[in-house]
Structure 1
Amino acid sequence: MKLTRVLFYASKLPINYSNFPQRYIDRSMEQIEFKTEKAPQFQDKVIKREVFTYGMHRPWTKEFYEENYPGKRVRRDVVEPIKDWLIYRGDKVEILKGKDKGKQGLVNYIVTERNWVTVEGLNCEYKYIGGYQGMPKSMVKEELPLLVTSEVALLDPVDNKPTKVVWRYTDEGEEVRVSVRSGRIIPLPRAAFETYDYKDKRYYPEQPKDTPAKDVEKITFKPKLMTFGQEIMENMGIKEDRVPRKTYWY
């Protein structure tokens, strides 16, 4: 992946819906299988679990922990890698396979680890919940995952028909999604930028203890190829005219 695309992902594309720091997610998934004792004769060595199975539950949930319980053997998920992710929450797509083939709906959930998305109200199954410890038994409707590679397709805004989509750059240097069939730009939906903290960051009210957005956007540091002392001397107009004495290393 090119550096320009990495920077674009970091600044423009939607973040994870959880809005949790990556260090929190890593800590919630951490399972230490072996660790040496703290003693001078032992070299520090830590072996962590690396193979997890991913389902519809996110890594920081209790259900994910139960699916990957310590000591439980799970198979590594075989997933076709996607270089450029194209479908986000809030996108309108059409189902290409299954019992709801040809129907259109909005994407409401994404599991990037398995290349899965769910479409609101489509490709569903019914299951029973409750019926134990005095809880009434009831039937609920649950959406099943669909592969973004072969089971769903984005809709062309021109005719509302499925189309292939690629990333392209505009004249201003902004990277956008473009329909291959019509060449029309498909903007990112608002729902893609929603998180648990706020629905739309444009309307997020600043709190008294928050740093104002204008102050955050100010560039207060410009890196230079000089030391801290040299930078202070430059700002104060001090010129160094001393010649350092020669030193010798043996």
Structure 2
Amino acid sequence: MPREFNILNIIGKFSKQYGNLPDRYIKRASEQVYWKTPRGKPQYLPRTVQRRKFLFTTNRPWTQEFYLENAPGSTVNKVHVEPIKEWSFFRGDRVEVLVGRDKGKQGIVKQIFQERNWITVEGLHTKITMYGKSKDFEGIPTLKEKPLLVTREVALVDPSDLQATKIEWRYTESGEKVRVSRRTGRVIPIPASDMETIDYKLPNLYKPADKDTKKEDVEKITFTPELKTFEMDIMDKMGIKEDRIPQKCYWY
């Protein structure tokens, strides 16, 4: 039986790959700091106290829903996740559902949640969720995809014959790492849609706009570090010569 481990303390390690958001924003939006040294105070005061264990669900770490599930002061149940050495499912892959009422049906991977080894398949393995339900309104029924466990509830589909298959990673003669079907030996390419983001469809199709910083401006060296203080640098630029002799001092 594979070794199990607790993955609750890995905040946003995988989810941020599918959010197309800066790392600094994800860190700031997902962390829960209970106390930290006030600004302007000495940094040798007691260290920052923040939450370390989180419960991962289908809500991304930077959303309000994730914050409510991991409300400050609440405790979360320990979740054991089977470790996967090499992740083999990507957005846009065609997979076959192996459990539930949609068993045997094929669909396209819509979302990936590597913290729990989950994926969702577009239009399959769904449940009805009522939105806006109140005393005076019965709500709006909406179909929502439930997560599927990649280790035993879904299987990749070989595009050559559209049949479910197990895969393994191999290297081509050129050194490229590819997925290969164990049944047919054919390569299963990673879909181009896995590279799609919120800003643009594919990175190689992105065209810089007028407001984008040019590559040559970013690579231009505009500062040369020197062993000088700020005051010494200003004096050199203004042509001021220091004629005072400092007193001797001793460091122990």
The TM-score range, normalised by the shorter chain, is 0.7 to 0.9
The AA in structure 1 aligned to 2:33 is: I
| Aligned residue in 2 for 1:83 | 85
- The 3-state SS of whatever aligns with 1:199 is coil
- Equivalent-residue separation in structure 2 for 1:209 and 1:35 (angstroms): 37
TM-superposition CA deviations, 1:127-161 (whole Å, max 9, x none): 22113387662211111100011100101122211
Question: Are the counterparts in 1 of residues 37 and 43 from structure 2 also a CA contact under 8 Å?
Answer: no
| Aligned residue in 1 for 2:108 | 106
Q: How does 1:147-162 map to 2 (within 5 A)?
A: 147-162=149-164
Q: How does 1:75-224 map to 2 (within 5 A)?
A: 75-132=77-134, 137-210=139-212
- Equivalent-residue separation in structure 2 for 1:16 and 1:41 (angstroms): 33
TM-score by length of 1: 0.73
| Aligned residue in 1 for 2:62 | 60
Q: Please state how far the C-alpha of 1:91 moved relative to its aligned partner.
A: 0.3
Task: Number of aligned residue pairs: give it.
Answer: 205
Identity %: 48
Q: Please state how far the C-alpha of 1:181 moved relative to its aligned partner.
A: 1.6
| Aligned residue in 2 for 1:23 | 24
- Equivalent-residue separation in structure 2 for 1:28 and 1:133 (angstroms): 34
- The 3-state SS of whatever aligns with 2:17 is coil
User: Is the deviation greater in 112-121 or in 44-53?
Assistant: 44-53
Q: Please state how far the C-alpha of 1:99 moved relative to its aligned partner.
A: 1.4
- Equivalent-residue separation in structure 2 for 1:99 and 1:199 (angstroms): 33
Q: Relative to 1, partners in 2 of residues 1:27 and 1:40: Cα closer, same or farther, differing over 3 Å?
A: closer
- Equivalent-residue separation in structure 2 for 1:141 and 1:40 (angstroms): 53
- Equivalent-residue separation in structure 1 for 2:41 and 2:24 (angstroms): 28
- Equivalent-residue separation in structure 2 for 1:175 and 1:88 (angstroms): 15
Q: Please state how far the C-alpha of 1:115 moved relative to its aligned partner.
A: 0.7
- Equivalent-residue separation in structure 1 for 2:127 and 2:21 (angstroms): 30
- Equivalent-residue separation in structure 2 for 1:41 and 1:59 (angstroms): 28
TM-superposition CA deviations, 1:179-207 (whole Å, max 9, x none): 12211111111211111111222322221
TM-score by length of 2: 0.72
The AA in structure 1 aligned to 2:88 is: L
Unaligned residue ranges in structure 2 (runs of 5+): 1-15, 227-252
- The 3-state SS of whatever aligns with 2:142 is strand
Q: Please state how far the C-alpha of 1:93 moved relative to its aligned partner.
A: 0.2
Q: Relative to 1, partners in 2 of residues 1:157 and 1:174: Cα closer, same or farther, differing over 3 Å?
A: same
Q: Please state how far the C-alpha of 1:61 moved relative to its aligned partner.
A: 0.6
- Equivalent-residue separation in structure 2 for 1:24 and 1:80 (angstroms): 29
| Aligned residue in 1 for 2:33 | 32
- Equivalent-residue separation in structure 1 for 2:106 and 2:72 (angstroms): 40
- The alignment's C-alpha RMSD in Å is 2.8
- Equivalent-residue separation in structure 1 for 2:206 and 2:37 (angstroms): 47
- The 3-state SS of whatever aligns with 1:132 is coil
- The 3-state SS of whatever aligns with 1:50 is coil
TM-superposition CA deviations, 1:34-77 (whole Å, max 9, x none): 54678779643223211111111100111111111111111132
